[in-house]
Amino acid sequence: MKLNLAKCAFGVSSGKFLGFMVTQRGIEVNPAQVKSILEMPAPNNEKELQRLTGIEVNSLHSSFHRQTKTFLPHT
Protein backbone atom coordinates (compact mmCIF):
# COMPACT_ATOMS: atom_id res chain seq x y z
CA MET A 1 0.00 0.00 0.00
CA LYS A 2 1.25 3.49 -0.86
CA LEU A 3 0.27 6.64 0.99
CA ASN A 4 -0.17 9.98 -0.73
CA LEU A 5 1.76 12.33 1.54
CA ALA A 6 -0.25 15.31 0.29
CA LYS A 7 -3.38 13.67 1.74
CA CYS A 8 -1.80 12.54 5.01
CA ALA A 9 -1.81 14.44 8.28
CA PHE A 10 0.53 13.50 11.10
CA GLY A 11 0.54 14.83 14.65
CA VAL A 12 -2.89 16.48 14.47
CA SER A 13 -5.49 16.39 17.26
CA SER A 14 -8.45 15.88 14.90
CA GLY A 15 -9.30 15.43 11.25
CA LYS A 16 -11.99 14.40 8.77
CA PHE A 17 -12.14 10.77 7.70
CA LEU A 18 -14.97 9.28 5.60
CA GLY A 19 -17.30 12.13 6.55
CA PHE A 20 -16.66 11.90 10.28
CA MET A 21 -14.41 13.82 12.63
CA VAL A 22 -11.80 11.63 14.26
CA THR A 23 -10.51 13.20 17.47
CA GLN A 24 -8.60 12.13 20.53
CA ARG A 25 -11.99 11.34 22.13
CA GLY A 26 -13.03 9.06 19.26
CA ILE A 27 -15.29 9.35 16.23
CA GLU A 28 -17.66 12.31 16.21
CA VAL A 29 -20.19 13.70 13.78
CA ASN A 30 -18.88 16.24 11.30
CA PRO A 31 -20.14 19.64 12.54
CA ALA A 32 -20.88 20.70 8.94
CA GLN A 33 -23.42 17.86 8.63
CA VAL A 34 -25.12 18.80 11.89
CA LYS A 35 -25.25 22.46 10.89
CA SER A 36 -26.94 21.68 7.57
CA ILE A 37 -29.62 19.61 9.30
CA LEU A 38 -30.23 22.22 12.01
CA GLU A 39 -30.64 24.92 9.37
CA MET A 40 -33.25 22.95 7.44
CA PRO A 41 -36.83 24.20 7.68
CA ALA A 42 -39.11 22.15 9.94
CA PRO A 43 -41.17 19.53 8.09
CA ASN A 44 -44.75 20.63 7.39
CA ASN A 45 -46.29 17.27 6.59
CA GLU A 46 -45.70 13.54 6.90
CA LYS A 47 -43.95 13.25 3.53
CA GLU A 48 -41.41 15.93 4.45
CA LEU A 49 -40.81 14.23 7.80
CA GLN A 50 -40.20 10.90 6.07
CA ARG A 51 -37.74 12.57 3.72
CA LEU A 52 -35.90 14.15 6.64
CA THR A 53 -35.62 10.94 8.65
CA GLY A 54 -34.85 8.80 5.61
CA ILE A 55 -32.23 10.86 3.81
CA GLU A 56 -30.62 13.70 5.73
CA VAL A 57 -30.65 12.14 9.18
CA ASN A 58 -29.56 8.76 7.82
CA SER A 59 -26.06 10.11 7.29
CA LEU A 60 -25.76 10.62 11.05
CA HIS A 61 -27.35 7.34 12.17
CA SER A 62 -24.26 5.91 13.82
CA SER A 63 -24.15 8.81 16.27
CA PHE A 64 -27.80 8.65 17.22
CA HIS A 65 -27.54 5.54 19.35
CA ARG A 66 -25.36 7.49 21.80
CA GLN A 67 -27.83 10.36 22.02
CA THR A 68 -31.24 8.67 21.98
CA LYS A 69 -32.25 10.11 25.34
CA THR A 70 -32.26 13.63 23.89
CA PHE A 71 -34.60 12.84 21.00
CA LEU A 72 -38.35 13.17 21.27
CA PRO A 73 -40.86 10.95 19.45
CA HIS A 74 -42.10 12.23 16.09
CA THR A 75 -45.73 12.29 17.22
Q: How far apart, in Å, are the Cα atoms of 30 and each of 4, 26, 41, 60, 71?
A: 23, 12, 20, 9, 19
Strands (E), the chain: 14-17, 20-23, 26-29
Q: pLDDT digits over 21-73, tens only?
A: 888 888 887 777 778 778 888 889 888 887 777 765 555 555 555 554 455 55
Q: How many residues does the chain have?
A: 75
Higher pLDDT, 74 or 21: 21
Average pLDDT over residues 8-21: 82
In the chain, domain spans? 31-75
* Cβ 8 vs Cβ 16: under 8 Å: no
Q: Which residue has the higher pLDDT, 67 or 6?
A: 6
By the 8 A CB rule, do 34 and 26 touch? no
Q: Given a cut of 70, is residue 5 above it in pLDDT?
A: yes
pTM above 0.75, yes or no: no
